[in-house]
């Protein structure tokens, strides 16, 4: 693990509610994560883990508090730039586009860059080889198993060489063998590069692989 003292995530008293304030999904989160750290996030269903991850990826805005990730103040502007350059997101439900092929799904994050089409395709194929899916590149997501879809989602998350990978239960729906492969890929990535890995999981064995585990309960971090 390469790690320096720079915080890539700074969160102060972050709040997010739904239903006109009735549901306090995040209720004053304070969190710092160092560049290169592998952090797992655990906590019961409904405790706010996915909401927190969405905030980290600038997929949703907080109501109150401060959040900065990779030098971007996420209450500010340039969030499209932030999302496309800094973040690779592996969703709880893998969110592949059903009418695009596997390789086209992996290319999506590269559309916003200035990469030529042929280069995008080559990179997508290399990434699909990396996750063991070179024989499925022209399939549609509906023709794949759950584990294969999750591996496509990993390839897609890596497409832009992100600084931070946000993974929401990347192994939740997988059998133990496929889950282990997915984890192995993520861990390898974290160990070989500077990438910061933030992973929500219900699996304590998975959580224990991380440098640090954060517990979320009722929208707050347990210390």
Ligand X SMILES: Nc1ncnc2c1ncn2[C@@H]1O[C@H](COP(=O)(O)OP(=O)(O)OP(=O)(O)O)[C@@H](O)[C@H]1O
178 scored as a contact of Mg ion (CB under 5 A): no
Tokens 């939740």 label which residue? 172
Positions 35 through 64 that interact with Mg ion (CB under 5 A):
50
20 scored as a contact of ligand X (CB under 6 A): no
Minimum CB separation from ligand X for residue 168, in Å? 7
Q: Pick the piece of the chain touching ligand X (CB under 6 A) from 42-50, 98-106, 149-157, 188-196.
A: 42-50
222 scored as a contact of ligand X (CB under 6 A): no
Based on CB atoms, which residue is closest to Mg ion, 52 or 195? 52
48 scored as a contact of ligand X (CB under 6 A): yes
CA angle 212, 148, 213 (to 5 degrees): 10
User: How large is the angle between the packed helices 146-158 and 176-192, nearest 10 degrees?
Assistant: 10
Based on CB atoms, which residue is closest to Mg ion, 40 or 50? 50
The 10 Å CB-count burial string (b at 16+, else e) for 99-137 is eebbbbbbbbbbeeeebeeeebbebbbebbebbbbeebb
99 scored as a contact of ligand X (CB under 6 A): no
In angstroms, rounded to a whole number, what is the distance separating the alpha carbons of residues 24 and 49?
Answer: 12
Q: By the criterion CB under 6 A, which residues form the site for ligand X?
A: 18-19, 23, 25, 43, 45-51, 92
């Amino acid at each position: 693990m390469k790690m320096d003292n720079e915080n890539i995530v700074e969160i102060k008293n972050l709040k997010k509610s739904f239903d006109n304030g009735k549901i306090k999904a995040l209720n004053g989160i304070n969190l710092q994560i160092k560049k290169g750290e592998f952090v797992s996030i655990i906590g019961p269903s409904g405790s706010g883990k996915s909401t927190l991850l969405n905030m980290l990826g600038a997929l949703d805005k907080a109501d109150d508090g401060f959040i900065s990730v990779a030098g971007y103040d996420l209450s500010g502007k340039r969030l499209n730039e932030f999302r496309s350059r800094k973040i690779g997101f592996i969703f709880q439900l893998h969110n592949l586009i059903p009418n695009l092929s596997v390789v086209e799904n992996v290319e999506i994050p590269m559309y916003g860059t200035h990469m030529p089409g042929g280069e995008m395709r080559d990179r997508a194929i290399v990434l699909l080889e990396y996750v063991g899916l070179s024989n499925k590149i022209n399939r549609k997501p509906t023709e794949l198993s759950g584990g294969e879809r999750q591996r496509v989602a990993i390839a897609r998350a890596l497409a832009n060489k992100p600084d931070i990978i946000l993974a929401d239960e990347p192994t939740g729906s997988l059998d133990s063998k496929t889950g282990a492969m997915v984890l192995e890929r993520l861990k390898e990535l974290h160990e070989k590069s500077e990438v910061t890995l933030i992973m929500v999981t219900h699996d304590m064995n998975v959580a224990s692989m991380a440098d640090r585990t954060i517990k979320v309960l009722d929208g707050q971090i347990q210390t």
